[in-house]
Structure 1
Amino acid sequence: MLDYHVHSAYSDDSDYPMEAVVQDAIRRGIRELCFTDHVDYGVKRDWDDPRGIEYRRGDIGEPVQVANANVDYPRYVSELRTLQQKYRSEITLRLGLEFGMQVHTIPAYERLFTRYPFDFIIMSLHQIDDQEFWTQDYQRRKSQQEYNEGFYRETLRVIRRYKNYSVIGHLDSIVRYDLQGIYPFEKRKLLLSEILKTVIRDGKGIEVNTSSHRYGLPDLTPSRDILHLYRSLGGELLTIGSDSHKPAHLGAYLRETLEELWEMGYRRVYSFERMRPLPHEIAALLGR
Structure 2
Amino acid sequence: MISFDSHLHTRFSSDSEADPRAYIQLARQKGMKGICFTDHNDYDFPLEDGKVVFDLDFKAYLDYMLKLKEEFRGSFDIRVGVEQGLMKSVASRVDSYDPENKLDFVIGSSHLVEGEDPYYPSYWEGRAVKDTIIKYYESIMENIKTCHNFDIYGHLDYIIRYAPEKDANYNWKDYYDYFYEILKSLIYQGKGIEVNTAGLKYGLKNPNPDINIVKLYKELGGEIITVGSDSHSVDYLGYEFDRVYNMLKELGFKYYSVFKDRKAEFYEI
TM over 0.5: yes
Aligned length: 265
Q: Distance in 1 between matches of 2:50 and 2:26?
A: 29
Aligned to 1:78: 63
State the alpha-carbon separation in 2 of the partners of residues 189 and 69 from structure 1: 31
Residues 85-234 of structure 1 correspond to what in structure 2 (within 5 A)?
A: 85-136=70-121, 139-182=124-167, 183-234=170-221
Taking the aligned partners of 2:124 and 2:222, their CA distance within structure 1 comes to: 30
Structure 1 runs of 4+ off > 3 angstroms?
136-141, 180-183
SS of equivalent residue, structure 1 residue 97: strand
Cα deviation, residue 268, structure 1:
0.6
Whole-angstrom CA distance in 1 between matches of 2:53 and 2:204: 32
SS in 2 for 1:248: helix
Between the aligned residues of both structures, percent identity stands at: 30
- Counterpart residue identity of residue 126, structure 1: H
| Alignment match of 1:40 (pick from 42, 48, 54) | 42
**Equivalent in the alignment of 2:247:** 260
Whether the 8 Å contact between 2:95 and 2:148 is mirrored in structure 1 is no
Distance in 2 (CA, whole Å) between partners of 1:137 and 1:151 is 17
The 3-state SS of whatever aligns with 1:93 is strand
Give the secondary-structure state (helix, strand or coil) at the position aligned to 1:178. coil
Residues 74, 275 of structure 1: alpha-carbon distance in 2 compared, 3 angstrom cutoff = same
Corresponding residue for residue 225 of structure 2:
238
SS at match of 2:96: helix
Q: What letter is aligned with 2:106? A: I
108-117 vs 214-223, which moves further: 108-117
- Amino acid of the structure 1 residue aligned with 2:186: V
**2:97 and 2:149 in contact (8 A); partners too:** no
**Candidates 27, 30, 33, aligned match of 1:31:** 33
Give the distance between the partners of 2:77 and 2:166, measured in 1 at CA: 40
TM-score for the superposition, normalised by structure 2: 0.92
1:193 Cα deviation (Å)? Answer: 0.1
Query: Secondary structure at the residue paired with 1:257?
Result: helix
State the alpha-carbon separation in 1 of the partners of residues 19 and 90 from structure 2: 28
Q: Find the aligned partners of 2:9 and 2:27 in 1 and give their Cα distance.
A: 12
Superposed CA deviations along residues 70-108 of structure 1, whole A, max 9, x for unmatched, are 222111111111111211122111121001222112222
User: Unaligned regions of 5+ residues in structure 2, if any?
Assistant: none
Alpha-carbon offset, residue 139 of structure 1: 3.8
Aligned to 1:19: 21
Cα contact 1:31–1:90 (8 A) shared by 2: no
Distance 1:99 1:148, change over 3 A: same
For residue 7 of structure 1, the aligned residue among 6, 9, 31 is 9
SS in 2 for 1:152: helix
Judge conservation of contact 2:36–2:78 (CA < 8 Å) in 1: yes
Deviations 1:199-249 (A, max 9, x none): 111110000011122111112211021011111111121000111111211
Residue 48 (structure 1) aligns with: none
1:26–1:90 Cα contact (<8 Å) kept: no
Uncovered stretches (5+) of structure 1, i.e. residues with no partner: 45-54, 57-63, 283-288
Shift of 1:128: 2.6
2: distance between equivalents of 1:3 and 1:85?
19
> Separation in 1 of the partners of 2:51 and 2:109?
18
Per mean C-alpha deviation after superposition, the further-off stretch among 258-267 and 129-138 is 129-138
